Amino acid sequence: MKKYNVGIIGATGMVGQRFATILENHPWFNVVCLAASPRSAGKTYEEAVGSRWAMVAPMPESMKSMVMYDATADIEKIAKIADFVFCAVDMKKDEIKALEEAYAKAECPVVSNNSAHRHTDDVPMVIPEVNPEHIEIISAQRKRLGTKKGFIAVKSNCSIQSYVPALHPLMKYGISKVLACTYQAISGAGKTFETWPEMIDNLIPFIGGEEEKSEKEPLKVWGHIEGEKIVNTDKPMITTQCLRVPVSDGHTAAVFVSFDNKPTKEQILKDWKDFAGVPQELELPSAPKQFLNYFEEENRPQSKLDRMLEGGMAVSIGRLREDTQYDYKFVCLSHNTLRGAAGGAVLLAELLAAKGYFD
């Protein structure tokens, strides 16, 4: 595989820092530029991040002295040196939409963590193991944007990255309804316990916009391409409650599910064990070998013990049992800033690279 030059837009933020650490020694992607707001532009990466570095791993040596670009003012410059960019910025939704389209129109593809374009009809929202075929909509998007190479591809919200993968191999039984309560880590808000001490010994029963995303996004991920757009599925019915909990990393979901054709517990366990997606078949560098992992112990998965399974890219599941109101209930966990954010975006970029979308 040839090496691609990449940029990180929003490099100083929580997700941007994850991108920096994940990409430091990536076999296919070479970080050549870092960008953020005008506040950071002109400073070195080390100066711009300052005391905000929140990763356990140190800042990559190769990036410390890189001089930051202005994400908006320097689009043309960045498009000249980067084959594509990763984007994770904290801006208004319409500003992010415009920013990402400007990169695409400058013929610089964007792999995005932001929610702004998740419901744009011809923008694929991809969990690479679940709906890799949605990247085929990119040809329609390029036609609309008038680009040869530029496009936008997004990953879905971190909250759905445990239960949608766990439910996906069970779709063949006709899932009729799902109830999911998520218990979400503070890094999902770009915070640590140092920057958000109020979260120690606390729980906040509200995360703005999260329940809508958690109910709506799976319907696009399980949708299909029809002509020039992705059409959402209308089943299953999904209802959620999303809570912020005092955990540094790792979003857990307690899931209840009913089927048209109820499988046995053994069938479900076998479906999870046997499931492999395109990333596993293509052996993409960031793909976990075993995506869905079931724990027999009744006190697993635990965020602290299990979030880093397979480099934080696998999903951990436990406590599958029958329910009195739904057919089954279980608990699942995924790392929100790895699988749920930067890692999921890098895996999507690997899929796009393997399929020739950056050439």
Q: Rounded to the nearest whole angstrom, what is the least distance from the CB of residue 187 to ligand NAP in the complex? A: 5
Measured from each CB, the residue nearest to ligand NAP is: 13
Contacts by 75-78, CB closer than 8 A, 24 or more apart? 75/102, 75/103, 75/106, 75/108, 76/106, 78/7, 78/9, 78/33, 78/35, 78/103, 78/108
Q: How far is CA 84 from CA 32, 227, 247, 347, 352, in A?
A: 10, 26, 33, 14, 11
Burial zone of 230 (CB within 10 Å; 0-12 exposed, 13-18 middle, 19+ buried)? buried
> Taking contact as CB under 6 A, which single stretch among the options 5-13, 161-169, 206-214, 257-265 is the one that binds ligand NAP?
5-13
Give the closest residue to 335 by CA, choosing from 319, 354, 356, 314: 314
Q: Is 158 a catalytic residue?
A: yes
Which residue, 54 or 137, is less far from ligand NAP as judged by CB?
54
Q: Rounded to the nearest whole angstrom, what is the least distance from the CB of residue 87 to ligand NAP in the complex? A: 8
Residues 137-166 that bind ligand NAP (CB under 6 A): 158
Considering the candidates 87, 158, 242, 332, report the single residue annotated as catalytic. Answer: 158
> Taking contact as CB under 6 A, which single stretch among the options 37-45, 202-210, 266-274, 301-309 is the one that binds ligand NAP?
37-45
User: Is residue 353 at the binding interface for ligand NAP, with CB under 6 A as the rule?
Assistant: no
> Taking contact as CB under 6 A, which single stretch among the options 33-41, 143-151, 206-214, 237-245 is the one that binds ligand NAP?
33-41
User: Is residue 127 at the binding interface for ligand NAP, with CB under 6 A as the rule?
Assistant: no
What's the rounded Cα separation, in Å, for the pair 311 and 281?
18
Which residue, 142 or 244, is less far from ligand NAP as judged by CB?
244
Residues 207-236 that bind ligand NAP (CB under 6 A): none
User: Is residue 113 at the binding interface for ligand NAP, with CB under 6 A as the rule?
Assistant: yes
Q: Is 168 a catalytic residue?
A: no
* Identified binder of ligand NAP from the candidate list 59, 67, 91, 305, rule CB under 6 A: 91
Strand stretches in 48-135, DSSP E: 69-70, 84-87, 110-112
Which residue, 85 or 257, is less far from ligand NAP as judged by CB?
85
Number of H helices, E strands in the chain: 13, 14
Work out whether the CA dihedral 336, 337, 339, 341 comes out positive or negative: positive
Counting residues that bind ligand NAP (by CB under 6 A) gives: 28
Q: How far is CA 283 from CA 1, 226, 247, 286, 287, in A?
A: 12, 29, 31, 8, 7
Which residue, 36 or 170, is less far from ligand NAP as judged by CB?
36
Give the active site residues: 158, 251
Interface contacts to ligand NAP, rule CB under 6 A: 10-16, 36-37, 39-40, 71-72, 88-91, 113-115, 158, 187-188, 190, 336-337, 340-341
